[in-house]
Each structure stands twice: as structure tokens, then as C-alpha cells.
Amino acid sequence: MALLADPDAPTEIARRMARVLPDRLAERSGRGRRFDVTVVSEPFTAEVEDPLTLMQRIMDRACDGNWDVVVALTDLPLHSQGFKLVVDLSHEHGLALLSLPTLGGLRLGTRARQAVEEAVLSLEGARTKDGEEPRGRQPLRPPFTGRLAPVRKGRVDEEEIADLRYVVSGPRGYLKVLSGMVRANRPWRLVPGLSKALAAALATGAVATVNSTVWSLATALSTPRLVIAMVGSVALMIGWLIVDANLWHRTDEVSPEARKRAALYNASTVVTVGLGVIACYVGLAVVNLVWALFILNDRLFASLTRTPLQATEYWTLAWFVASVATVGGALGSGLESDEAIRAAAYSKREQERRSLLEKDSDG
């Protein structure tokens, strides 16, 4: 069998599961069978989001490789008849197409392996039963729906290659797909990707920490006002990055499905950038706190603010300066190239998808 994986995260997941998959499949099949697993990394979803076309590509690739079973992994969120596709299976051809974002953002590797195991056992069970032709629409075992809830069967049209489909729907399913998309984007990569913005924020924070006016403001502000300053600065940074780097997804299609897809992409963008900015904010607060502990003089601080310099004042000052520095970082982010921000904020597959959309709009 083969694991056909999109580049980047799907390939990494496929290679990790390939180390344990043969033994687990042999153990669970219960027929003393031996499984050879080959990982093939190639962008089989390039320029395509239609499950029918993707299944055709997978079938052609299976014929070229002469594999009995092919399971394709992609980090692209796929849609079918208004629902978010989890997996398509063709028992006749021994094919499966798995959309990783529908597995959620937690324990993705484990959940992907479980889903692949269930898919392979279902396909093998239909193709190898003695004396019978392959049985279409072989249901997956109960652990699949239990582990990956909310998952349910979806409708498959007669002209499609797949004979069994699982989809997710509803608010819980939407949140699961959203968390999976954010996990694929790897928001932690945004922190080193904003080097110029972080440099501007650190410089702003260093200057603000030794400014007596900032000391007075920090000690005078109440906790609710500090929270408002924090939320406002983070929101400003998120909004500036999205607008300046043109990360907002727009669609000219008027269908409800296209609008839902655009909303999902934009939600993943906001959450991805938001998590990256929050990580930057926390880092700035820690750096500012260390800098304040090193540089501030308690007598000078108390004489200017009429407040003794204690642990609470150190933390309050670092918190407020982090908000001020984040605004400075937002201005510094304008020095970053759009490509650098996109590379940090999106998975490789998402970058390719957006590049194709831009080419289509320019053409």
C-alpha cells in the first residue's frame, strides 16, 4: 500500500505513521497478513479542491505505482455538497482521500494514524474476502466515528469514484476543521517571521521602560484599563498584519458554499495570526520585565510616581509596556515583505492556493 501525501505537514505525518503502520495493520487484520507501506510525497491537490477530481488523480497514481491500496493525505479543507469532507473511500479501487484539518488541531498525528488504519482495514476487508467480489460501501469500524466525532456518513452521487463518504457538520464540526487548519498553518512560525516587527517592538519597549511618563501611566491605570490596552494593541497588530499583507480572502462566487469556504479561510487566518501575535506579546512582556528588573531604580521610581517599586509595579509596568511595544511592532511590521508574512502564517499548501487565486484575479 502507499501513503500519497501533500508536501509539508502531510508528508511529515505520513512518514511518522509509516514506521508503525505495518505492524499495527498486521496485528489488527487478524489474518497473518504482511503490509508494506510506501510514502509518496507529491502535490496531488495542486490547483484542485474538488473531491471527484482528486479521487481520479489518486486512482491514476495508484495504477502507475501498482499498489493495492492508496490512502491520500492533504492539509487542504475539502467540501462536498455543503459539508466538510473527512474521508472518501472507493472499495472497488482501493482508494481513500483523507482531509487532515477535519481531525482537529490536537493529537493530529495519532488521529491521522487511527483514521488511516480504519480506512485501510475497511478497504482490505472489502477486497480480500474469500470467494466474494469487492463489497462497496464497506462501513468503517465504530472507533472511527467515536474518535473523530462529530463524523457522519455523507451522500455519494452515482457518477463519483467514491462509494463511501464521511463528513462533519454543525458548529462542533466547524470548530474542529478550524482548529485543524490553524494547526496546519503552524502559527508559532509567525514569531521568527516577524523579525523586523519584533525588533521595532523591542526597541519601543526598551525606551518606554525607562520613561518616567510611562511609569506614572502604568501605576495610575486600573486593571480593566490595562486589559483594554492589551486587547486593543493585539487587535491593532492582527488587523494591521492582515490588511498590510493582504491576507484577507475574498471570493467573487455568490454560492453559499463559496461564502462559507471564504469565511472558514478568513477565520483560520485571524486565529493563526492572532496566536502568533499573542505569543509575541507574551514574549515582549517577559523581556520587558527582565529589562525593568535590571535597569530600574526603586528610589527614583518612588520619588517620581509616589509608589514604592514592588513586584506588582514591576509586573504592571511590563504589562503596559508590552502593549505600547506591540503598537510599535505593528508599525514595524510594515517593513516585512508580504511573502515573508505569508510564509510564516500559512502552510505550504495554503500558500500555493493563495498564489493561484492571485494569478487568477490578475489574469
Q: Are 94 and 108 in contact (CB under 8 A)?
A: no
Task: Tell me what pLDDT residue 138 has.
Answer: 47
For 35-88, the pLDDT digits (tens) are: 889 999 988 887 777 888 899 999 999 888 888 899 999 988 888 877 888 999
Alpha-carbon distance values, 240 to 50, 108, 111, 214, 232 (Å): 33, 31, 35, 24, 12
> Does residue 133 register a pLDDT over 50?
no
pLDDT over 70 (residue 338): no
pLDDT of residue 174 exceeding 50:
yes
pLDDT at 337: 59
* Dist CA 321 CA 60 (whole Å): 58
Q: Looking at the predicted structure, is the pLDDT value of residue 278 above 90?
A: yes
Which pLDDT band, with edges at 50, 70 and 90, does 130 fall under? very low
* Total number of residues shown for the chain: 363
The pLDDT of residue 147 is above 60: no
Q: Which residue has the higher pLDDT, 189 or 216?
A: 216
pLDDT over 80 (residue 336): no
Q: 251 vs 106, which has greater pLDDT? A: 106
Burial class (CB in 10 A: 0-12, 13-18, 19+), 24: middle
**233 pLDDT exceeds 90?**
yes
Grid cell for residue 12: 511529515
**Whole-angstrom Cα distance, residue 229 to residue 39?**
49
Q: At residue 9, does pLDDT exceed 50?
A: yes
**Integer CA distances (angstroms), 251 to 48, 78, 136, 254, in order:** 16, 16, 37, 8
Q: What average pLDDT is seen over the chain?
A: 82
Name the most confidently modeled range: 119-128, 157-166, 342-351: 157-166
321: amino acid identity, one letter: V
| pLDDT value of position 143 | 40
8 Å CB contact between 168 and 102: yes
Q: What is the pLDDT of residue 135?
A: 43
What pLDDT shows up at residue 235?
Answer: 93
Comparing CA positions, the residue from 253, 210, 244, 237 lying closest to residue 334 is 244
pLDDT digits (tens, 9 = 90+) for 236-249: 989 888 887 778 87
CA neighbor of 215 nearest in space, from 319, 75, 101: 319
Helix axes 256-295, 170-185, angle to 10 degrees: 50
pLDDT of amino acid 355: 64
Q: How far apart are CA 129 and CA 127, in angstroms?
A: 6
Whether the Cβ atoms of residue 162 and residue 88 lie closer than 8 Å to each other = yes
User: Strands 38-41, 164-168: parallel, antiparallel or unpaired by DSSP?
Assistant: unpaired
Q: Mind giving me the DSSP string for 108-152?
A: HHHHHHHHHHHHHHHHHHHHS-TTS---TTPPPPHHHHHHT-S-E
Report percent pLDDT > 90 for the chain.
Answer: 26
Strand 79-80 relative to strand 2-5: parallel, antiparallel, unpaired?
unpaired
Of the segments 104-108, 131-135, 139-143, 208-212, which one has the largest average pLDDT value?
208-212
- Which among 176-185, 329-338, 345-354 has the top mean pLDDT? 176-185
Mean pLDDT of 124-141: 51
Question: Running DSSP on this structure, what letter comes out for residue 34?
Answer: -
Domains and CATH numbers, the chain: 2-127+139-180 (3.40.390), 187-362 (no CATH)
- What residues form DSSP beta bridges with 168? 84
Residue 13 burial by CB count (10 A; 0-12/13-18/19+): exposed, middle or buried?
A: buried
Report the C-alpha gap between 93 and 161 in whole angstroms.
Answer: 8
Torsion from C-alpha of 169, 3, 126, 168, nearest 10 degrees: 0
